[in-house]
Each structure stands twice: as C-alpha cells, then as structure tokens.
Chain A
Amino acid sequence: MISEKVQARPELFLFKFVGNLQKEPMDKNDREYTNGDITVYWRPNKCVHATICYTQLIEVFNPRKRPWVNMQGATNEKIIEIVDKCPTDALTYCWNKDLENPPAPREKKETVTSEKPVEIQIMRDGPILVTGKIKLTDNDGKEYKTYSISSFCRCGASGNMPFCDGMHRKIGFEG
C-alpha cells in the first residue's frame, strides 16, 4: 500500500530495489520479527527516529515493550503500510513465501537526489525530518556530513546534537 503522503507528492520519491535484502551484511543489533506470513526486519543503526512507526501503529511498534515489534498487533496490510512509511531502511519487510522461492524484488521509497526542493517535515513530538540535498554547518563554519535523510533534534535533549538520537521520547517532548 502506498501512503497518502507519497501519493500526494510522488515527485519527492524515487524507487529502489531492496530485493537483495538478505545479502546485506547483518549487524549484530539487527532483528527479525515474523507472524508466519510476513517478516519485518529491524536495523536500528539505520533508524533516524522519525517516530512514524510508533506514532502510527503503536499496537505493533511499541518502543516501551520487549520485543518492541508485536507482529500479532495488526493485519499484514497495516503492518506493511507502516513499514513502507519508514523513511529509511530501518524497517523493511518480506513475504515469507518469497523467502522460500527466489525473493521477488520489492520496492521501497527513497529520497531524491536532484534539484527538488528539500523537504522539511516536522514530526509530532519528535524531530525535524529533512529529505534532500543539504549543506550543514555550525557557527564556526565547520561542515557536517549529511545524508539524503537527516533528522534534527527539536526537543533540546539529544546527546548527538544537532541530530535526533531518540531522547525526545524519554523526556516526553510535546510539540
């Protein structure tokens, strides 16, 4: 399922294959969760704490619970819808039947790299999510490396300024 937001601004997204998901080296923190039909892959080091997953489907994605992904919490369709909304590869999924057969190539939205305007999305109770090509400097003129998606702390509590490190959730930031 394609989210409304993507439909509304299709020019902001390109598509790329993640069909070779299984070949990507696993990080020791990576996790898999399955309900028998689909498997959700969680790569914490790719997460930009955009908060989309747990603000939109807390029944499945609840960072306060262990395991934090409850595959019984919603239908396959709903889980896939939210996984597709994750702006990074932190959350991806695969149909289990495709794991046995040669995996069908799947598509996931990725950010543009062209002259499109930079998209600055305020996340509720969370960071500033920035998609596009930017230059980032501090007041001393030091330049920071940026990626096609960055999330900037808005709550004031991050330990990795200027980026969000997920602390907004711990301090209960509202805004």
Chain B
Amino acid sequence: MSDSSKPYNAEFSFKPGASLKIKGNFILKDSQGNIIPTGDYIKLCRCGKSKSQPFCDHSHRTA
C-alpha cells in the first residue's frame, strides 16, 4: 500500500496502572460538554486518583 495517510486520527497508548496517552488530532470535552483546550498530546488519568481530573498528575504512583 502506497497510501501515506494514516487510517486513524489519534494514537492512544496505555501502560497498566498508569495514564492514557493521547497524541494527534482530537478535541477534549469535560463532563458538561465544554471544550478543554489542549495541545496535541495529553495524558488522561485512568486510576481514578488524580487531583487534577481528567488529567494524570502521577497520583497513580502513590498507591
């Protein structure tokens, strides 16, 4: 396949026990539906413990 365009618009990756890393073309919205301005790379909390939800603040390291 010579098509250079990617079949996806954003890349998500995760590590067990740590954040969800998101890179690419995306829009982030809070639970009210308001857009949260971001760059093209964010880390979202997956552990439920972050004090700055929805972002990871590394609280996942302190069990």
Contacts and interface: CB of A to CB of B under 8 A. Distances in A.
Interface in A9-64: none
Interface in B2-57: 6-16, 20, 22, 24-31, 33, 44-50, 53-54
Contacts of B14: 136, 138-139, 152, 161-162
B8 A5 contact: no
A137 B10 contact: no
Contacts of A173: 48
Interface core residue of A123, A132, A161 (most chain B CB under 10 Å): A132
A137 B20 CA distance: 10
Interface size class of B (residues with CB under 8 A): 20 to 34
A122 B29 contact: yes
Interface in A94-144: 115-124, 128, 130, 132-139
Contacts of A152: 12, 14, 20, 44, 46
Contacts of B12: 130, 134-137, 146, 152
A122 B10 contact: no
Interface of A: 4-5, 8, 115-124, 128, 130, 132-139, 146, 152-157, 161-162, 173, 175
Interface of B: 6-16, 20, 22, 24-31, 33, 44-50, 53-54
